[in-house]
Structure 1
Amino acid sequence: MSTRPTLSDVARLAGVHQATASRALNPRTSGRVSPVTARRVRAAAEELGFTPNTAARSLRMNRSFTVGVLMPDLINPLFPPMARGIEAALAPRGYTALLANTDSDEDKERHQFDVLLGRQVDGFIVATARRKHPLLDEARKSGVPIVLLNRCTDRKLFPFVAGDDSAGVSLAAEHLLERGHRHVAHVSGPQDMSTGITRARAFRHAMESAGIGPDQAPVIPARAYTVAAGEQATGELLDRHPATTAIVAGNDLIALGALHVLRARGLRCPQDVSLVGFNDMQFADEFQPPLTTVHVPHHELGAEAAHLLLELLDRSDLSYDTVWAAKTVLLPVHLVIRESTADAVDRKPTRG
């Protein structure tokens, strides 16, 4: 009966000391070994079919080498690329991501958080934050290492990584203004989320800077970042502001809902109403018409959040200070111009 190969076997085959083999196979310490030696040790481990005893390593270092990741809605196409970015950044350090979907439900989120804590995760990456978030307030008091991704709380309790929402909306608004639009509306995201309020504020600022008042530049919040919510809010917009010639949507799913309503009311995009989305999610270029939208680097956001969490875990005291908790990383965004925007054309207000 064959026995499981040991680290000593790997060291013997590679012709190195056992401590050297251990350092070479540990992502945290492999940099202390020469590249040639590290490759020889990895080749020996592969030849023998050796896998490190992660349980023993975890006990020795008092870590599980796992990270809990809370996502609000994995059906939403923007979140899987973030998860992939997190995994790509964690893997070289020997960490594994444990992914939990909350369906944007507070009770489910709390349950998933507690389950992951029970699995002894070393920290969390949280993409579910609302502006007021009791669970995160409690976690902060308990000293749980957390990095917020894409959305943040009003209180700066944790490091935060996101795309530059304000710059993105400004780019969208400037594009429409340059095309001659003066009746521009914003179908925003929910106002209890940082993304919704930040993008709405940026839109209002851009319109005010162009000398366009709220009557010509209304903001209609959608109740969620979904197609159905986009349909409901766009219907309300066109009922209340039928002269609208352009819409900046809170995200691409809201934009898709807006497209549905425009078609149902006999309005053409972009000939009658131009439309800009936000996120540049997968298949946005397959919309009819292809969607002009703000591109956000979601994979890079996930990777940056993972790097921040690893940096926090590397701190000897695992504590937050004021500067660290307020640390915010905003990655640059850019506007992708496609066929859903065109020059403004005056049209008679119509109700559908």
Structure 2
Amino acid sequence: MSTPSPQAVTIRDVAHAAGVHVSTVSRALNPERRGLISEEVLRVVEEAAQRLGYRPNRAAAALRTGRTRTIGVLVPDITNAVFPPILQGIEASASARGYFVFVTNVVDHALARPIVERMMAQKVDGVVLAIATRDDPLLDFLRQAGMKAVLVNRADESGRLPAVVSDDRLAMKLAVDHLVGTGHRRIAHLAGPQDVPTGVARRQGVEQALRDRGLPLAAEAECDSYSREAGRRAMAQLLAQHDRPEAVVCCNDLVALGAYDELRARGLRVPQDISITGHNDMPLVDMVDPPLTTIRLPHRELGWRAAEMLFDEIEGRALSASTVVLRPELVVRESTCARTG
């Protein structure tokens, strides 16, 4: 008998080649049911499937189960070093369950809803969003449409959707406490965009940490994005409007690098003239001059947890829209130093 072409291979062909029942092949090739099959039978079935070039018919499976075993992920800036490890975590969870991941870079938030509608038309089983703004109408749209969704690196202040975040307020407290502990008193803040939950929470964290220490906020400038260019503009604005601070807490690492740029252009040294802290511990910030003191986040775990929560939603195991908060840690490098006098 001739070997069927890969396009025409069915699970019946695999079953015949492996010498087992069709239902055994179906279980063996299903990530959720393969645990019911012995290791020896799994090996025989997988070898037969590979030899024949079998490819699952996703469309037929979707008609049977109502699921496509795909999820969508929306990120605001794929070039930002924060998001690749988050995506790695999502991919790890999805791969273990036999799911495929569609990733979309949403450069303009106005495009978010059309992108989600396109994903819904493609019958994705759920979405992970790293793009939500404060009071985002997209969240209500998702709920009304019945789409399973989880936020990552963004909190839903109204509790409409599950979310996985790092503790932004604690992160800023760690940075402020470090600076105060090394003798700094005039501490400023380059805040993140205030239409994004992380920008609001980090700003509140800096303000509360300073109040707890009995210190005023020396100065503040708001960035219009989490970018190096925005950090440089905000640093220039801060220096133009206020007396020079002793230290600046930056809302993220790219903003901190922009602050470096502006200070260097003005002939000011980090940390001798102004100490700088960042947030995220993105790759290579330990190699800039000077290496950046920053807050390290468990980005891969953020992604993995978000995907796990989404699959709980898809499989009907989630009881409520809960928020998981992961703990950050301070990484002290050479952009901060003890202040004397």
Say yes or no: does 1:330 pair with 2:325. Answer: yes
Indicate the residue corresponding to 1:62 in structure 2. 66
| Pairing partner for 1:13 from 17, 24, 27 | 17
Unpaired stretches in structure 1, ≥5 consecutive residues: 347-352
**Deviation at 1:84?**
2.0
> Quick one: distance in 1 between partners of 2:191 and 2:61?
48
Indicate the residue corresponding to 2:28 in structure 1. 24
Say yes or no: does 1:269 pair with 2:270. Answer: yes
**Deviation at 1:345?**
4.2
| Pairing partner for 2:131 from 118, 124, 128 | 128
Indicate the residue corresponding to 1:112 in structure 2. 115
Length-normalised TM-score, structure 2: 0.94
Unpaired stretches in structure 2, ≥5 consecutive residues: none
**Deviation at 1:242?**
2.4
Say yes or no: does 1:341 pair with 2:336. Answer: yes
**Mean alpha-carbon deviation: is it higher for 190-199 or for 235-244?**
235-244
**Deviation at 1:112?**
1.2
Q: What are the within-5 Å matches in structure 2 for residues 93-242 of structure 1?
A: 93-103=97-107, 105-214=108-217, 216=218, 218-242=219-243
> How big is each residue's C-alpha offset from its partner over 1:168-205, in whole Å with a ceiling of 9 and x where there is no partner?
11111111111111111111111111101111111111
**Deviation at 1:87?**
1.4
| Aligned structure 1 segments of 4 or more residues deviating by more than 6 angstroms | none
Indicate the residue corresponding to 1:87 in structure 2. 91
State, as a whole percentage, how many aligned pairs show the same letter.
42
* AA aligned opposite 1:206: A
Q: Is the Cα–Cα contact under 8 Å of residues 272 and 345 in structure 1 kept in the other structure? A: no
Q: Is the Cα–Cα contact under 8 Å of residues 275 and 292 in structure 1 kept in the other structure? A: yes
Length-normalised TM-score, structure 1: 0.91
* AA aligned opposite 1:241: H
Indicate the residue corresponding to 2:81 in structure 1. 77
> Quick one: distance in 1 between partners of 2:325 and 2:90?
16
* AA aligned opposite 1:78: V
**Deviation at 1:271?**
0.9
Secondary structure of the 2:305 match is helix
Q: What are the within-5 Å matches in structure 2 for residues 249-328 of structure 1?
A: 249-315=250-316, 324-325=320-321, 327-328=322-323
> Quick one: distance in 1 between partners of 2:328 and 2:39?
37
> Quick one: distance in 2 between partners of 1:345 and 1:121?
58
* AA aligned opposite 2:324: V
**Deviation at 1:2?**
4.6
> How big is each residue's C-alpha offset from its partner over 1:261-303, in whole Å with a ceiling of 9 and x where there is no partner?
1111111001111111000111111211111111112122111
> Quick one: distance in 1 between partners of 2:53 and 2:146?
39
Q: Is the Cα–Cα contact under 8 Å of residues 130 and 152 in structure 1 kept in the other structure? A: no
* AA aligned opposite 1:238: L
Residues 43 and 280 from structure 1, CA distance in 2 versus in 1: closer, same or farther, beyond 3 angstroms?
A: same
Indicate the residue corresponding to 2:47 in structure 1. 43
Q: Is the Cα–Cα contact under 8 Å of residues 130 and 193 in structure 1 kept in the other structure? A: yes
**Mean alpha-carbon deviation: is it higher for 11-20 or for 158-167?**
11-20
Aligned residues: 337
Q: CA RMSD in A?
A: 1.7
Q: Is the Cα–Cα contact under 8 Å of residues 200 and 219 in structure 1 kept in the other structure? A: no
**Deviation at 1:79?**
1.2
**Deviation at 1:19?**
0.9
> Quick one: distance in 2 between partners of 1:39 and 1:274?
59
Residues 124 and 2 from structure 1, CA distance in 2 versus in 1: closer, same or farther, beyond 3 angstroms?
A: same
> Quick one: distance in 2 between partners of 1:169 and 1:30?
46
> Quick one: distance in 1 between partners of 2:340 and 2:252?
24
Indicate the residue corresponding to 1:350 in structure 2. none
> Quick one: distance in 2 between partners of 1:206 and 1:90?
38
